[in-house]
């Protein structure tokens, strides 16, 4: 049962005086439950409890933390239909998406449980002493990774489960030995509370320290208070550039600056060679229409920018892409604010000089349903106007027609950092594919060949991050087991007696 309260160190509490409700975007009405934003007292208690828990939690053997993570997955599944119904009611997304995202969330938890069941993930190194070495004796040195401390996690609007309360940030932080304080996303506060209750049950069943997890409701001020707290040691965020950069700047100004690992969106350039268009343009158009509109375009990997070189086939391809895109049924967006943002940013791009709308879904739509659109512009105009580089969060893509290969490379090189870059090409293509790949890899975290960027596999080889502003630190991934590296730091032990070393460094 959803109470509307905050989860503070395993107890549900509502001491604040600011209330809000979530929205059912399909029905365009507010949902019934009233949620209470956390008070400053509750935020203080959540963080200090996390700090106290850290002293115990960081020392637990990996198999105990693995037991906890697996128990969370079990408790999430036990929420059954109530979780699915709440998810759909607060997001407008279909039940099939809810089931898929629930499975992804559970798989993430179980993959981190498998990772930390032994200590290999710490990348331990051992350098034996050489007391008789000439010139200068060498001491015994051993290095390992240790957890940073309590982590603040901000839930994402577009993934109520996989990037939110028990999502990848929380799962990887708990796996590392870091307690977590989540600021739930206000668009799906009910979903977040249900997941919080599952984590609390799992913590109780596996004997975790009481403050190992908390979840608070709130707006901007709650986020500021959380990141500013001296006992928070790092931040995980998925959301807008504006929000992520504000948290990054706030964390940097603290007396003790802390890292912010923010994933802030992307337009995910797709290079389609003229040879590929000539040989299979209609198939590419159909495939990319599906990718552009998948999930109403509300993925951080949505292909918002298509790049090609103009020739005799370009116009027909763009028209086919537009036709295929707007032929797909309109879908509901996550929230009225996201719908209004989509309309506003779309109009901002399409109103720029040289931009032409090739196709846009017409007709009467329900209030929070999105009209998909495809627009086009020349490479010259795109290079002159950085307003054309902004993300339009929704089912929209801009096709840039470059005059030649040199201009195509210039467009790629002048893009901001991106999560993904895709190359659609033919064997023995006329373009210098190696040079295009070289240009792409300097701007993106993941390169796809003859595929689509939508869909992020959870596996060790996945890199979900990229140069700023795709993420605040391109050396790390937000998806897959290597996400754990964000929440740890290396420590060396020199000339230590074995009995004083951590268990995993004694050999």
Catalytic residues: 263, 300
- CA dist 218 and 430 (Å) reads 54
Residue where the block lists tokens 């799992």: 202
Q: Classify 285 as helix, strand or coil.
A: helix
Buried (b) or exposed (e) across 397-426, using 16+ Cβ within 10 A? bbbbbbeebebbbbbbeebbbbbbbbbbbb
User: Hey, how many other C-beta atoms are within 10 angstroms of the C-beta on 82?
Assistant: 13
Q: Classify 441 as helix, strand or coil.
A: helix
DSSP strand pairing (488-494 vs 141-147):
antiparallel
Measured CA distances, 497 to 353, 375, 494 (Å): 71, 67, 9
DSSP strand pairing (29-30 vs 488-494):
unpaired
Q: Where are the alpha helices (DSSP H) in 152-207?
A: 168-176, 189-205
- CA dist 153 and 216 (Å) reads 10
* Whether the bond into 213 is cis, omega within 30 of 0: no
Question: Nearest CA to 346 among 380, 399, 299, 396?
Answer: 396
- CA dist 124 and 122 (Å) reads 5
User: Hey, how many other C-beta atoms are within 10 angstroms of the C-beta on 50?
Assistant: 29
- CA dist 405 and 308 (Å) reads 9
- CA dist 173 and 170 (Å) reads 5
Residue 85 buriedness (CB in 10 A; 0-12 / 13-18 / 19+): middle
DSSP strand pairing (19-20 vs 35-36):
antiparallel
- CA dist 158 and 160 (Å) reads 6
- CA dist 239 and 260 (Å) reads 13
Which DSSP string corresponds to 35-78? EEPPPHHHHHHHHHHHHHHHHHHTTS-HHHHHHHHHHHHHHHHH
Pair 150, 233: CB distance under 8 Å:
yes
What is the distance of C-alpha 158 from the center of its chain?
9
Residue 218 buriedness (CB in 10 A; 0-12 / 13-18 / 19+): buried
- CA dist 82 and 100 (Å) reads 15
Sign of CA dihedral 408, 409, 410, 415: positive
């Amino acid at each position: 049962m959803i109470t509307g309260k905050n989860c503070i160190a395993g107890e549900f509490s509502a001491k604040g005086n600011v209330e809000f409700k979530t929205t059912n975007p399909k029905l365009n009405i507010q949902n019934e439950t009233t949620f209470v934003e956390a008070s400053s007292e509750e935020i203080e208690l959540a963080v200090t409890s996390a700090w106290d828990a850290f002293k115990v939690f960081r020392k637990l053997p990996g198999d105990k933390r693995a037991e906890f993570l697996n128990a969370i997955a079990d408790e999430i599944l036990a929420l059954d239909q109530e979780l699915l119904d709440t998810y759909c009611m607060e997001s407008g997304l279909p039940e099939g998406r809810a089931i898929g995202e629930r499975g992804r969330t559970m798989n993430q938890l179980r993959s981190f449980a498998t990772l930390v069941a032994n200590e290999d993930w710490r990348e331990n190194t051992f350098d034996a002493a050489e007391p008789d070495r000439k010139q200068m004796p060498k001491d015994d040195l051993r290095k390992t990774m240790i957890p940073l401390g309590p982590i603040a996690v901000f839930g994402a609007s577009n993934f109520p489960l996989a990037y939110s309360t028990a999502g990848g940030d929380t799962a990887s932080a708990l796996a590392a030995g870091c307690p977590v304080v989540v600021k739930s996303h206000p668009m799906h506060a009910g979903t977040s509370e249900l997941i919080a209750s599952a984590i609390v049950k799992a913590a109780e069943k596996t004997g975790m320290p009481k403050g190992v997890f908390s979840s608070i409701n709130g707006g901007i001020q709650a986020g500021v208070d959380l990141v500013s707290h001296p006992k928070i040691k790092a931040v995980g965020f998925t959301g807008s550039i504006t929000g992520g950069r504000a948290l990054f700047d706030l964390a940097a100004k603290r007396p003790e600056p802390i890292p912010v690992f923010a994933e802030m969106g992307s337009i995910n350039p797709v290079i389609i060679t003229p040879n590929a268009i000539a040989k299979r343009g209609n198939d590419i158009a159909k495939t990319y229409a599906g990718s552009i509109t998948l999930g109403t375009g509300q993925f951080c990997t949505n292909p918002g920018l298509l790049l090609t070189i103009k020739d005799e086939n370009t116009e027909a391809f763009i028209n086919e892409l537009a036709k295929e895109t707007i032929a797909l049924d309109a879908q509901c967006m996550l929230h009225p604010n996201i719908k209004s943002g989509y309309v506003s940013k779309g109009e901002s791009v399409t109103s720029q000089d040289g931009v032409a709308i090739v196709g846009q879904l017409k007709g009467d739509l329900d209030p929070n349903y999105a009209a998909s659109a495809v627009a086009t512009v020349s490479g010259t105009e795109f290079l002159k106007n950085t307003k054309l580089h902004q993300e339009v969060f929704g089912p929209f893509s801009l096709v840039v027609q470059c005059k030649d290969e040199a201009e195509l490379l210039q467009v790629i090189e002048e893009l901001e950092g991106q999560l993904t870059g895709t190359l659609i090409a033919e064997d023995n293509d006329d373009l210098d594919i190696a040079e295009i790949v070289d240009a792409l890899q300097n701007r993106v975290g993941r390169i796809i060949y003859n595929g689509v960027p939508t869909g992020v596999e959870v596996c060790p080889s996945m890199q979900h991050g990229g140069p700023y502003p795709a993420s605040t630190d391109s050396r790390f991934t937000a998806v897959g087991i290597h996400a754990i590296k964000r929440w740890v730091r290396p420590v060396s032990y020199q000339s230590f007696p074995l009995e004083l070393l951590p268990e995993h460094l004694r050999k």
